[in-house]
Amino acid sequence: MRTATRLFSLLAAFVVLVGSATQLFADAPKPPVEFNAGLVTQVNGSPYVKIQWYANREGTAATSFDIYMASSETEDMSLFDKIGSVEVAANTQVYTFKKTDLKAGVYTFFVKAVNADGESERTKIIVVVVKEISNDPMIKITSAPVKTGKVDVAYKYAVKFEKNFEGTGKFKIENAPDGMVIDEATGIISWDKPVKGRYEIKVTVSVELNGAVKSATQIYVLEIGEEPTNEKGCVTVSGTVKWDDATINETVNSGTVIGWKLEVVKKEDGTTKEVYTALFKVKIERGMYTMNVPAGTYKFRVEGEYFDAEWYEDVKELADAKTVVVKCDEPKVEVNFSVAARKAAVTVVASGRVTDENGNGMKAVVIFEAKGKDGANVTIKRVAAETNADGYYEVKLESGVNYIGFAKAAGDKKSAYAMEFWKESADATTATVLNITANEDGVNFTLELLPVYDNSISGTLVDNKTGDKLTGKVVAYQIIASDNPNGESKKAMIASVETDADGAYTISNLKRGNYIVYGAASERKNVPGWYVSGEAAVEKWSKATVLEVGETSVITDIKIQLLTATGNAGKGRARGWVYDKRGGIAQKPTGEVQGQIAIVGALIVARDANGTIVDYAVTENEGAYLLTELAVGTTTLSIDRFGFENENQTIVIDGQNVEVQASFGLVSKTSDVEVPTNVGTTLNLYPNPTAANATLKFDAVNGNASVRILTASGVVMSVENFSVTTGPTTLTINSASLPAGMFLVQVTNGNASFALPMSIVK
């Protein structure tokens, strides 16, 4: 008998619905055992996948077995389709199934046992790679590059390649430092007197075939270091690693200490920059470590499974780490660490329901992904759960970790409904972050039925520099003109999808209109951006290529080429909020809040004085952002969010001001609610930051001015009313009683409403 009742934790005889959340049945069979799948190649035929399993002798007998496949490497149950069924035969324990006619690619398989009472849990998942059999011309570089060298010691690397056609290879080198050459016939790279530094080398081999040129490229980073007095360096860095808690009797007997050396990197434009690079790594044994390094400037980090990673001395970020200068005439340096034992991960249960727009429970997959710059200490990074027939699910998450949750329809409805992010957003960039420390119910999703059109936008998400395929999310935004000449709904369509393991994506069932496409990779190093035809992605949505989608349009090959952030540039930080400058918090005549201040999903890109991207951030729940990779000097921030004007601001990091508070108000380009924007030329709030009261100046109109101080999430902290006359007006804002933090001062006067950020320090 199928169980459809929601399961509660206080009942004694129950099954907790976690992980896969598969429906269970009283007499359903147990899953098959010894499941296996593999590629079988044939001498005179196409390869096929052979799937094999044993019937489970325990529990009730199965009457058949269902085979499922997904066209990618995935654990997302919504991506699997049933591809066949095998009936149970008498006196048979071993069953096989052949999947033929597969194109080259990656496939995932599992099997379920079935009888009249239901189906079993799935078997384990097995991934099979089907390689393409082709006679097309192929050329590739097969040699591993020599990536290190020493100052004034001759460098040599012989480039080797393979091809399946006739022809002579011709070699070429790009980005080579002065003095480095390549023999165009043999592929031998040589450099007689290397100069200290890090260099990005690009090697290409080309072969002419029938008037066309086939080529292969290899890119690698060459590091030339100083000549040490011995093979391991001239300085011994050693020390102890002890527990912070003196009551722990055990010795720290595992983990590593890593030496990050300050290096000068030569960029493609000929300029240089300084970065810290992890070059030396040694194990901790019996609470001690020893490493030999060449002279230079270092920062040291300790990492391990049983303690929280930290930099010397007792700091969490590279920017704050103490610098250690080592010299060959001082051959011994002591660097000690005191580490905090890592607490065991505490799990909590998030539960809820997935429904359609009519409130009916849906079969769906709910996924939670850990979000943050440093996920090294997160145990549960991604978890997926299937709902039961009534749409209910439960998952285990790690307590205190930020997660982004989203739901996708499963089964035969998976392409009919839009993917939704918590809370109630079709936009992957505006998902509300879930962070819970106790069991929480009501994490619900309502899936919207998509229009039925035979159209789509498809392509890949790639690294602009290497061409590597990237996993991540892609969002299509419909652009609707404010005058709306066709009389259509002014609600723009937003659709989000996940890529597969090969970076491929397809967005279908779109309303007819013009769209721009945004990509964000799962890997932190790649900067999110907007698709531009044939070029690298850009951070400004107004510069994106517009795609015209009709009811039957099939748009392909939309390759979103994401740039990378260099990172590790310095010790500077910038933090703050992004808010709606024109509207602030708009109020209805009844005083109810009509709109939120915070702008979630704004992309902030940081460039150094040379225009190189060093860091980026995307604003979250309260419009907050944090940049941590800024170098000393001038940094330009670009702040962009779909539907708002782009904003640029320059900040300065110096020795006394390593952290900058910078908040940004963006002006909406189009809005259904018109908010007056002319608040005069005297608009100002000072001092800011303030430790007591602040002064507000603006151009007023005769009547009343209401001044409210709010947190970034919209909580009202104080309300003051003033009688004002037309013209420049000065008001004293009572903020002395408020705690330290970031706030917004929202002013309503006549028909105008505006907001300014205010920082309070104590």
> Regarding beta strands 659-661 and 664-666, do their DSSP bridges make them parallel or antiparallel, or are they unpaired?
unpaired
Greater model confidence, 271 or 430: 430
One domain for residues 759 and 684:
yes
Tokens of 360: 């009916």
Output the pLDDT for position 43: 40
Full residue range of the structural domain in which residue 645 is found: 565-675
Give the Cβ contact number of residue 352 at 10 Å: 22
Number of domains comprising the chain: 7
Q: Cα 748 to chain center, whole Å?
A: 39
For residue 582, name the pLDDT band (cuts at 50, 70, 90). Answer: low
DSSP 547-616: EEE-TT-EEEEEEEEE-B------SEEEEEEEEETTTSS-B-TT--B-S-SB-TT-EEEEE-TTS-EEEE
One domain for residues 356 and 407:
yes
One domain for residues 412 and 351:
yes
One domain for residues 516 and 592:
no
Residue 5 in domain: no
Distances (CA, A) of 94 to 66, 99, 596: 14, 17, 61
| Environment class of 224 (CB within 10 Å of its CB; exposed 0-12, middle 13-18, buried 19+) | buried
Is residue 689 reached through a cis peptide bond, with omega within 30 degrees of 0 on the bond before it? yes
Examine the pLDDT at 191 and tell me if it is beyond 90: yes
Q: What is the CATH number of the domain that holds 657?
A: 2.60.40.10
Examine the pLDDT at 23 and tell me if it is beyond 50: no
One domain for residues 667 and 695:
no
Name the domain boundary from 339, 363, 385. Answer: 339
Q: Cα 688 to chain center, whole Å?
A: 33
Residue 21 in domain: no
Residue 124 CA to residue 721 CA, distance in Å, equals: 66
Examine the pLDDT at 290 and tell me if it is beyond 50: yes
558 close to 567: Cβ distance less than 8 angstroms: no
The end-to-end CA distance of the chain, in Å, is: 64
Examine the pLDDT at 592 and tell me if it is beyond 50: no
One domain for residues 669 and 587:
yes
One domain for residues 569 and 671:
yes
Here the contacts of 523-526 (C-beta below 8 Å, separation 24 or greater) are 523/470, 523/471, 523/472, 524/373, 525/564, 525/565, 525/567, 526/463, 526/470, 526/472, 526/562, 526/563, 526/564, 526/565
Angle at 692 (CA atoms; ends 689, 697), nearest 5 degrees = 65
319-329: pLDDT as tens digits: 778 899 998 88
Examine the pLDDT at 522 and tell me if it is beyond 90: no
Residue 658 CA to residue 257 CA, distance in Å, equals: 26
One domain for residues 423 and 474:
no
Residue 19 in domain: no
Amino acid sitting at position 186: T
235-286: pLDDT as tens digits: 899 999 999 888 888 888 888 999 988 877 665 556 666 777 778 889 898 8
Residue 230 in domain: no
Average pLDDT for 586-591: 40
Q: What is the CATH number of the domain that holds 266?
A: 2.60.40.1120
Name the domain boundary from 545, 562, 579. Answer: 562
Residue 314 in domain: yes
Residues above pLDDT 70, as percent of the chain: 84
Q: What is the CATH number of the domain that holds 387?
A: 2.60.40.2190
Average pLDDT for 518-542: 90
One domain for residues 419 and 324:
no
Residue 267 CA to residue 275 CA, distance in Å, equals: 12
One domain for residues 467 and 518:
yes
Residue 1 in domain: no
Residue 144 in domain: yes
Q: What is the CATH number of the domain that holds 719?
A: 2.60.40.1930
One domain for residues 689 and 650:
no
Confirm whether pTM is higher than 0.75: no
Residue 2 in domain: no
Examine the pLDDT at 595 and tell me if it is beyond 60: no
Greater model confidence, 489 or 147: 147
Examine the pLDDT at 92 and tell me if it is beyond 50: yes
One domain for residues 687 and 749:
yes
Phi and psi (nearest 5°) for 540? -100, 120
Residue 656 CA to residue 633 CA, distance in Å, equals: 12
Output the pLDDT for position 687: 82
Name the domain boundary from 339, 373, 398. Answer: 339
- Reference 675, options 594, 591, 751; nearest CA is 751
